[in-house]
Amino acid sequence: MPEIGEVARAVHYIRKHLVGKTLQKVTAVEDGNVFGKVGTSHTEIMTKLTGKKVVDAGQQGKYFWMIMSSPPHPVMHFGMAGWFKFKSEHSYYYKKKDNEESEEWPPKYWKVLFETDGKGNEKVEAAFVDLRRFGRFRLVDCPAKDIREHTPLAENGPDPVQDKDVVTVDWLKELCQRKKVPIKAMLLDQANISGIGNWVGDEIMYDARMHPEQYANTLSADEVKKLHKSIHYVCGTAVDLLADSDQFPESWLFKHRWGKGKKDAPTALPNGEKIVFLTVGGRTSAVIPSVQKKTGPVAKEISEAEEDVKPKKAKASKKQKAEVVEDPEEKPKRTATKKRAKEVDSEEETKATPKKRARGKKASAAGNEDVEEVPKTNGHAGKPNKFAKKGGKNTKVEETDEEAELEAQPNKPPLKKGTRTATPRNEGAEEVVDRRRRSGRLRK
């Protein structure tokens, strides 16, 4: 991802080729990610930038912008793989190979094309490109002098190069004291400080001889001073050299940190110091353990250190537990509660028992006597089964136990074991007999 040095390079070429020229033609492709997510449309970009003069360009961390002759002004972010290309000159921070042919124009993955009028000098063609579409291109409608007071610049921290008077030792000390996070994670957060990305963060940590996992709020006053010095040194050097890695100091970690996962890649610095890779702040971090020592607790260690400070309750011995006497007022309450629960269970069981028996042994009427039946439900209390009607021809009578029928008919002789009898021919009895015959339960 382009960081503070790479963005400074893009601003340098905009000032070199576009500042002082009028944009005769601006073309943009429709892209909901690059434009839409920041509230701008490709048609708005074309209509509001065409015909305007580029007055200046500026930078705050990873954001950069062009100051136009009148608002709005385009504010851009490269995302993961964006860049600002020029047809007349190779502006990319990766060096062009000697045998590499000239790139086609317009370039692949272009989002916005700019063409100057060419009056008084040669025509300039430039393009904002973005392979992965994580870049952002928006229009900010405000006076040029107030552009950093508006979104998205207002939500970002100071630029360590553009705002040297803000990023002081005292400012950094106060920031570290209120940030209980790993040092590198604090630096990567653009809301704290602008422009520091993964490789710049690793270089700062290596130059300051600090471990990236150590928590920022554990740094001493001297360590904060060292960190402050490294921030300005690394960021300032990257910007001054326009991210030209060939000119970076040979002592920098940058020269040797790109070998992770590659065959025959260096695993140590030229002096033999081993390179290891850790994940800090969600990013892969290159670390030299031999010089980047932890002087304070990190991650899990800081939580454990805090636990040691908290007063711990002493565990009672077996003898002490045996001598513990329960509060006499609490025990009866618990006993009464259990007793009451048992009484409630008994009452519910008593209420439920007659209903179960009445359903299981439902007797039909004997002679002219009526036997009270409990309405059968469908699982809802108080709602009888819609098929059950008391009395009449539609009475639903279930097969009953023979001994219960004998008790209901004292004038009948006792039945022998295994014999069956039909329900007495009372009201609705014929239907019962017919139903039993159809079901095969009654012999003819």
CA distances from 300 to 214, 297, 303, 326 (A): 11, 8, 5, 40
- End-to-end CA distance of the chain, in Å? 95
> What is the residue whose two structure tokens read 């590198």?
184
Report how far residue 179's alpha carbon sits from residue 24's, in angstroms, rounded to the nearest whole number.
49
Which residue among the candidates 3, 6, 213, 223 is catalytic per the annotation?
3
Residues facing residue 22 across a β-bridge: 53
Give the closest residue to 184 by CA, choosing from 195, 194, 197: 197
106 is catalytic: no
62 is catalytic: yes
Burial class (CB in 10 A: 0-12, 13-18, 19+), 42: buried
342 is catalytic: no
Instruction: Return the H-helix or E-strand segment holding 411.
Output: none
Beta strands in 117-256 (DSSP E): 125-130, 136-140
The b-or-e profile of 240-257 (16+ CB within 10 A means b, else e) is ebbbebeebeeebbbebb
Give the closest residue to 388 by CA, choosing from 398, 379, 380: 398
Peptide bond before 182: cis, by omega within 30 degrees of 0?
A: no
What type of residue is 422?
A
Structure-block tokens of residue 26: 């601006």
Which residue among the candidates 2, 72, 158, 160 is catalytic per the annotation?
2
CA distances from 411 to 405, 406, 417, 430 (A): 11, 9, 18, 21
Structure-block tokens of residue 260: 């992770």
Report how far residue 217's alpha carbon sits from residue 298's, in angstroms, rounded to the nearest whole number.
11
Structure-block tokens of residue 313: 């309750």
Which residue among the candidates 21, 48, 52, 62 is catalytic per the annotation?
62
- Dihedrals φ, ψ of 95, to 5°? -70, 140
Burial class (CB in 10 A: 0-12, 13-18, 19+), 268: middle
Report how far residue 245's alpha carbon sits from residue 177's, in angstroms, rounded to the nearest whole number.
34
Kindly state the DSSP code that residue 63 receives in the 8-state scheme. E
Contact call for residues 19 and 42 (beta carbons, < 8 A): no
Q: What are the residue numbers of the active site?
A: 2-3, 62
